[in-house]
Structure 1
Amino acid sequence: MHGTDQTPIIETRRLILRAPRPADASRIVELVDYDVARMTLRMPWPYAPADAEGFITQVAMQDRRRDNTFAIELENEGLVGVLGFFPTPEAQLEVGYWLGRPYWGRGLASEALMGALTWASRDWRKRMVVAGHFADNPASGRVLCKAGFLYTGVVDTKLSRARGEPADTRMMVWLA
């Protein structure tokens, strides 16, 4: 951990966003299927316990001035996904997230994202966040729009590790 900064805890109506813990690894592996992994940039497929353990170790070493990653916890159900902020090569702040398939279509991604953006602007003092969604994942686009992101008109080609090939990525921006 860099400095004394720890991942903050963000509470929304139904969710708690908190630092991922080693005990979360098995739950993450349980929730990540191919349809989850293929909609992310960095997640490998197949997704093994060592991948979850490595992810949690990497997150624990983040510089909280630049990166913040949260386990998304649903009351009475535990971890349902992950949301993270990270710097892009162009020095912008990007957000990414995933939810396990049983939790799709319930407004949880939107709720987590809106809570995280409120925290990022108010407490972390961020004024702009970028995001992208694969063109074949319109549901993620709806989540981003609901949270106040706007399409930039840019379509990048980004490599999806799980797919093993690039995918058209519709870029968006959020301004505080």
Structure 2
Amino acid sequence: MTTRRLTLRQPVMDDAERIALYLNNFAVAGNLARVPYPYHLADARAWLRTWRPDKPAGETGFAIDLGGEGFIGQVGYHLDARGETVIGYWLAQPFWNRGIMSEAVAAAINWYFRVTAAPKIRSGVFHFNKASLAIQNKLGFIETGAGNLLCLARGEQVRHIDTELERSVWAERQDA
């Protein structure tokens, strides 16, 4: 899948070195629930071995390639404890504040709602991640609650803001 600046594709083992390089940065890993810190090449390779091209939409993801740069981040889906689809994403720090993540997440949302009949997508951010919350607000997510969530990189429970995006809201925004 392509956008104005990006290619979203299945991650491959050749991405391992860049994944390890970019996630072995506490400024990135410390914003994510399921990523340890420090993050090693072995972690990236182990994670990549879990990817298969036949995963269902709610359990797949996309490597984010920027023209002239290659792999710079990830956007993907997983199922939460309730079996609901959650979108998560991360971007390498050198590429922050360029609108890249908004572009990638919007493309992933378009894809997800096109290939599923799901009524909504869930997400959320740690309370200190204002940039990620701004992306979600920009794309139509609304806050639905808060709680604590384990952040592996921080080794502790952290206040987490829960969000969701209704299919109908997304469709209205696309028609506007």
Confirm or deny a common fold (TM above 0.5). yes
Residue 155 of structure 1 is matched in structure 2 by 146
Identity of aligned residues (%): 34
TM-score, L = length of structure 2? 0.90
Residue 100 of structure 1 is matched in structure 2 by 92
Query: 2:124 & 2:11 partners in 1: Cα distance?
Result: 23
Change (3 A) 1:111 1:65: closer
SS in 2 for 1:11: coil
Aligned mate of 1:43, from 35, 48, 67? 35
1:126 correspondence with 2:113: no
Give, as a single letter, the amino acid of the residue that structure 1 aligns with 2:112.
Answer: A
Aligned mate of 1:53, from 45, 65, 86? 45
- Superposed, which structure 2 residues align to 1:1-150 within 5 Å? 10-32=1-23, 33-60=25-52, 63-150=55-142
Residue 7 of structure 1 is matched in structure 2 by none
Per-residue deviation at 1:13? Answer: 1.0
1:175 correspondence with 2:166: yes
Query: 1:73 & 1:172 partners in 2: Cα distance?
Result: 26
CA contact (8 A) 2:57 2:112 kept: no
CA contact (8 A) 2:58 2:86 kept: no
**CA offsets, 1:124-169, max 9 Å, x none?**
33321000100011111001111111111x1110000000001101
Query: 2:112 & 2:46 partners in 1: Cα distance?
Result: 25
Per-residue deviation at 1:122? Answer: 1.1
**CA offsets, 1:22-44, max 9 Å, x none?**
00000111112111111001101
Query: 2:116 & 2:51 partners in 1: Cα distance?
Result: 18
Give, as a single letter, the amino acid of the residue that structure 2 aligns with 1:108.
Answer: I
Give, as a single letter, the amino acid of the residue that structure 2 aligns with 1:145.
Answer: N
TM-score, L = length of structure 1? 0.90
Give, as a single letter, the amino acid of the residue that structure 2 aligns with 1:96.
Answer: G
In structure 1, the gaps of 5 or more residues are 1-9
SS in 1 for 2:50: helix
Query: 2:57 & 2:72 partners in 1: Cα distance?
Result: 25
Give, as a single letter, the amino acid of the residue that structure 2 aligns with 1:28.
Answer: I
Residue 164 of structure 1 is matched in structure 2 by 155
Give, as a single letter, the amino acid of the residue that structure 2 aligns with 1:22.
Answer: M
Per-residue deviation at 1:89? Answer: 0.8
